[in-house]
Structure 1
Amino acid sequence: MRPQVVAHRGASHENAEHTLGAYLAALDAGAEGLECDVRLTADGHLVCVHDRDLRRTTSRRGVVSTLDLAELSELDFAAWKNPWTDLDDEAPERDEELDRVLTLRKLLETVADYDRRVEVAIETKHPTRYGGLVEKRLVEMLRDFGWDTPGSPVRVMSFSFTALQRVERLAPHVQLVQLVEHLPTWPMLRRVIGKDWLVGPGIELLREHPRFAQRVLRSGHDVHVWTVNTEADLDLCIRLGVKAVISDRPAYMLELLDQRQDQR
């Protein structure tokens, strides 16, 4: 079975994560899905940013939740990835719009306008000062696109069981993914997650406990794995029957899968 290839924060191995440039590169590479993390700004906008603070991905300090979208829009979210570009006379001219903060609405509009079906896996980050308001705003946006209905291309992921419960109450038809990082949390989660929920273990967990995926699949839950970047990890996921691999390197994963298809 061929797993779905989902671009982790876009094609983030080569491009600055969560920028429009990274997602367009992933789409151009043929990614079947896009993954993003979302946080709420001080003025209520959902933006695609992983970290709580800005130190790693911009040139300034600050916490995402304390800043307005206009303040975030002034920052360069891409320069950290290739800090020497400005000194390279042969580097192509950069489109600043591809390097700025990306709102979830802009990402969903890009997907809606694309010429083929692309799925979106949206992770809500917790803890956050806004608590359940993040999921409330997310579901409101999905309704704007008509994507809170069966067959929606969007699924919502979180390490927070409580956050996923909120989405289930607000939008019962949206597919949910319970993320799992450490094996000891699974016995409790296994008893409480919905029967139709997906399970999203990290690749490190599967490397150490490959039977975990088999147990999850036997219990009736499909498995989506993050973050799969090597041939060995992809092969492990294929052997275990994983339904989706979330990768920083979607083009490479697709190339490997095509090679395996050709060898059959």
Structure 2
Amino acid sequence: MRPQVVAHRGDSEENAEHTLGAFLAAIEAGADGLECDVRLTADGHLVCVHDRDLRRVAAQRRGLISTMELADLHQLDVASWKRPWAELDDEAPVVDESMHGVLTLRRLMEVAAAAPRRIELLIETKHPTRYGGLVERRLVQLLSEFGWDGADAPVRVMSFAHTALQRVQRLAPEVRVVQLFERAEMWPALRRMIGRDWMVGPGIGELTDHPGLAWRLAESPHEINVWTVNTPEQLALCRSLGVTAVITDRPRVMRGLVDALPADGT
């Protein structure tokens, strides 16, 4: 079986992460799915941002996402950091500023829904946060608006926070969930806590460094979504484990590698 290719924060190797431009580029590159992180603004909007603040991607702009309103976030450029010398390049293409702002989850869902083929969304809720379970409640409300709260919806909700995924299961029992974890020693406890139909999301580094973990996961009943897979060697390991999806910064490269595999994945 060929694994799904999921673009990590969009086509984030070539574009600024979590921007509309990055996600459109990922779709154009042939990604099967788009991965995003979401945080809740002070006025209740879910936005696609990884960090608690924007200092890394918005020229050291101070302030937590949770204390800012969407209108303020829309004034910021969160893409120029990726190409800091672009304005000095006389041959650089004209910049489309609409591709450079903070993106709402609603807008990303609209983009995925309008795509010419099925695009999966893998949505990671970030914790801890001052809003606690309100993040998942807002998310499920939005999924319901789109009719994406059923078993056939093109969406998976992911989190490192076990309680966050429990909330999603209570609010939308049919939505697929992925328990993320970053250390091999966490798995013995997690495997007793998660539902049989939950997916699991280990990092590629842990699978590489801990072969025993890799094979225990492969032998478990859980589908596996692995982050962040960027090389042929990492893909080969994922294939050997029967991984369902590889989350990658390089969707175009990974698409080519996966498409070169025989249809049966051998």
TM-score (normalised: structure 1) = 0.98
Which residue is equivalent to 1:43? Answer: 43
Over the aligned positions, Cα root-mean-square deviation in angstroms equals 1.3
How far apart, in 2, do the equivalents of 1:2 and 1:154 lie? 19
Amino acid aligned to 2:226? V
Question: What's the secondary structure of 2:216's corresponding residue?
Answer: helix
The superposition leaves residues 169-196 of structure 1 with CA deviations (integer Å, 9 ceiling, x where unpaired) of 0000000000010011111111010110
Question: What's the secondary structure of 1:47's corresponding residue?
Answer: strand
Q: Does structure 2 retain, via aligned residues, the 8 Å contact 1:210–1:240? A: no
Which 5+ residue runs of structure 1 have no aligned equivalent?
A: none
Question: What's the secondary structure of 2:15's corresponding residue?
Answer: coil
Question: What's the secondary structure of 2:117's corresponding residue?
Answer: coil
Which residue is equivalent to 1:260? Answer: 261
How far apart, in 2, do the equivalents of 1:182 and 1:219 lie? 17
Q: CA deviation at 1:257?
A: 1.7
Q: Does structure 2 retain, via aligned residues, the 8 Å contact 1:10–1:34? A: yes
Q: CA deviation at 1:259?
A: 2.7
Which residue is equivalent to 2:249? Answer: 248
| Superposition pairs of residues 213-224 of structure 1, within 5 angstroms | 213-224=214-225
How far apart, in 2, do the equivalents of 1:90 and 1:40 lie? 38
Q: CA deviation at 1:217?
A: 3.0
The superposition leaves residues 183-241 of structure 1 with CA deviations (integer Å, 9 ceiling, x where unpaired) of 11111111010110000000010001133232123220011100001111111111121
The superposition leaves residues 72-92 of structure 1 with CA deviations (integer Å, 9 ceiling, x where unpaired) of 000001000000011111000
Q: CA deviation at 1:71?
A: 0.4
Residue 6 (1) aligns with residue 12 (2): no
How far apart, in 1, do the equivalents of 2:19 and 2:249 lie? 13
Deviates more, 1:174-183 or 1:55-64: 55-64
Which residue is equivalent to 2:62? Answer: 61
Which residue is equivalent to 2:115? Answer: 114
| Superposition pairs of residues 13-52 of structure 1, within 5 angstroms | 13-52=13-52
Which residue is equivalent to 2:208? Answer: 207
Which 5+ residue runs of structure 2 have no aligned equivalent?
A: none
Question: What's the secondary structure of 1:121's corresponding residue?
Answer: strand
Question: What's the secondary structure of 2:112's corresponding residue?
Answer: helix
Question: What's the secondary structure of 2:12's corresponding residue?
Answer: coil
How far apart, in 2, do the equivalents of 1:86 and 1:2 lie? 41
Identity percentage over the alignment?
Answer: 64
Q: CA deviation at 1:62?
A: 1.5
Q: Does structure 2 retain, via aligned residues, the 8 Å contact 1:8–1:247? A: yes
Question: What's the secondary structure of 2:80's corresponding residue?
Answer: coil
